[in-house]
Amino acid sequence: MKAIHLAALTVLAAVSAWASSPVVSNVVLEQKSAKRAEITYTLSEDAVVTLDIVTNAPGGGWASIGAENVVKVWGDVNKLVTGAGTHMLYWAPDASWLDQTGFGSEVKARVKAWATDAPPPYMVIDLEIASRGGSVPADFIRYYETADQLPDGGLANDIYRTERLVMRRIPAKGVTWRMGAPTTERWREWGNGGKETPHYVTLSEDYYIGVFETTVTQYHQYMGGDTQYSGTLAAINVTYEGLRGENTSYDFPANGHAVASGSKFGILRAKTGGIAFDLPTEAQWEFACRAGEGGPFSPAIDMSDLASHINWTANFEAIGWCLGKDDADRTSFERYRVGGKQPNAWGLYDMHGNVYELCLDWYKYDLGSASVTDPSVSVAERTDSKKVCRGGSAHYACQYQCRAAYRYPGKYVNATDNVVGFRLVCPAVAF
């Protein structure tokens, strides 16, 4: 590693239109050795703190050395830091920044503070540490500005499909968007377009949602202690009542987000200090799936080569698992390792295909065309005594069931299905 001059300063505070912004000041960066740099800073109030390192670029100005070069950090960073005053974090340049080609010789630290009600885009829960009884959430909850900052090789490492749970903050607060599909959308609900009536929806809050569908290991080992089952395949054969509790007492929306203590979510909440994990509403699921796209898929793909409902397309193969070109007569149900395809614009994997994802809402055939805020379907409004599922699965055709707007009539609250799994959501606040 070449000699570098680690400069003091560079202060950066998160700015939020709806939350007070904590302030970082007095940032001092000192290199104690090739293996350790100390960074001290003053924080105005409780906040989540993240770090970036910038260097003087040959052409002038300052440029980030890249998130992947700042993964070896510890101390008061990538977590909720409590208490106004001076705090310290550490960076290991020799273990992080291996290739310095093209950069200058000066380095600055950018310490960024995020309001507790507007935390960074990525939250990672270490389920293994939480299950062993971490004393405070800071023991097992970490926050990152980008997925590239995740340590231990990032999302390519299957530890993020087993022992760690990765959540992505969805920027939904105050956004009005179109739910459903226009009548002109190709392959719109084959003969049953009323199920996808387009209407405008506004969501009141941001929320975290799982980057991956919940896996076998996460479901069995950390939501129930059944260590005989493990793996990175999407978990299936789940039930609404098994996840949340007996429906008469823990129905949504009648009883809000309350869950039974002995349910899968009750166990997970207890292990993680009370994080209110739950299923997404239909609107939360579809907004996250679309990731700003107005068409049937995100990322947007060309489906013009499809001529009938049994056809397969190589374009879709890049983003999801569906009924394959040689699988028209398949009778067995299949699922795959989560995260094996291209993610959408918000970094979410398998929103199209692999397994259907169970939602909170009761199934209602037509959601209507009126504009709504934070919609949900109650028992009184339902047209079927089932909970709705979204996203399609590897057993069905991509152009119908795997579209963002497709609404599967769902499952009874105590019924399992080997093509149905789930994806977690929780409030977007720092813990």
- The b-or-e profile of 9-28 (16+ CB within 10 A means b, else e) is ebbbbbeeeeeebbebeebb
CA angle (308 as vertex; 305, 312 as ends), nearest 5: 55
| Residue 302 near residue 187 (C-beta atoms within 8 A) | no
Please state, in angstroms and rounded to a whole number, the distance separating the CA atoms of residues 167 and 257. Answer: 18
Within 8 A by CB and 6+ apart from 261, the residues are 267, 270
The phi and psi torsions of 59 (rounded to 5 degrees) equal -85, 0
Question: One-letter amino acid identity for 274?
Answer: G
- Give the dihedral of Cα atoms 394, 398, 403, 407; nearest 10 deg: -60
pLDDT given at position 13: 37
DSSP secondary structure of 251-269: -TTTTTT---TTSHHHHHH
State the pLDDT at residue 6: 47
Strands 199-202 and 372-373, bridge-based pairing: parallel
* Buried/exposed code over 319-349 (b: 16+ C-beta within 10 A; e: otherwise): bbbbbeeeeeeeeeebbbbbbebebbebebb
CATH 3.90.1580.10 residue ranges for the chain: 167-427
Q: What is the pLDDT of residue 104?
A: 61
Distance CA 138, CA 142 (A): 7
The HSE-up count of residue 16 (CA atoms within 13 Å, CB side) is: 20
CATH code of 5-116, in short, is 2.60.40
Using CB atoms within 10 Å of the CB of residue 43, give its burial: 0 to 12 exposed, 13 to 18 middle, 19+ buried.
buried
Q: Where in the chain is the domain with CATH 2.60.40?
A: 5-116
pLDDT tens track, the chain, 431 positions: 444 544 433 333 333 333 468 999 999 999 888 789 999 999 999 999 999 999 887 777 888 888 888 999 999 999 999 999 999 999 998 887 877 655 667 889 999 999 999 999 999 999 999 998 876 778 899 999 999 999 999 999 999 999 999 999 999 999 999 999 998 887 776 556 568 999 999 999 999 999 999 999 999 999 998 888 999 999 999 999 999 999 889 999 999 999 999 999 999 999 999 999 999 999 999 999 999 998 999 988 877 766 554 455 677 888 888 876 555 444 456 789 999 999 999 999 999 999 999 999 999 999 999 999 999 999 999 998 999 999 999 887 777 788 999 999 888 999 999 999 999 999 999 99
Distance from C-alpha of 241 to C-alpha of 111, rounded to nearest angstrom? 44
C-alpha distances (whole Å) from 65 to each of 69, 88, 149, 244 are 6, 21, 12, 44
Contacts of 130 (CB under 8 A, 6+ apart): 139, 140, 222, 271, 272, 273
E strand or H helix at 89:
strand 85-91
Report pLDDT for 238: 95
* Residue 236, pLDDT score: 95
- CATH for 167-427 is 3.90.1580.10
A 10 A CB-CB count for 382 gives 17
Residue closest to 307 by CA, chosen among 294, 321, 325, 320? 325
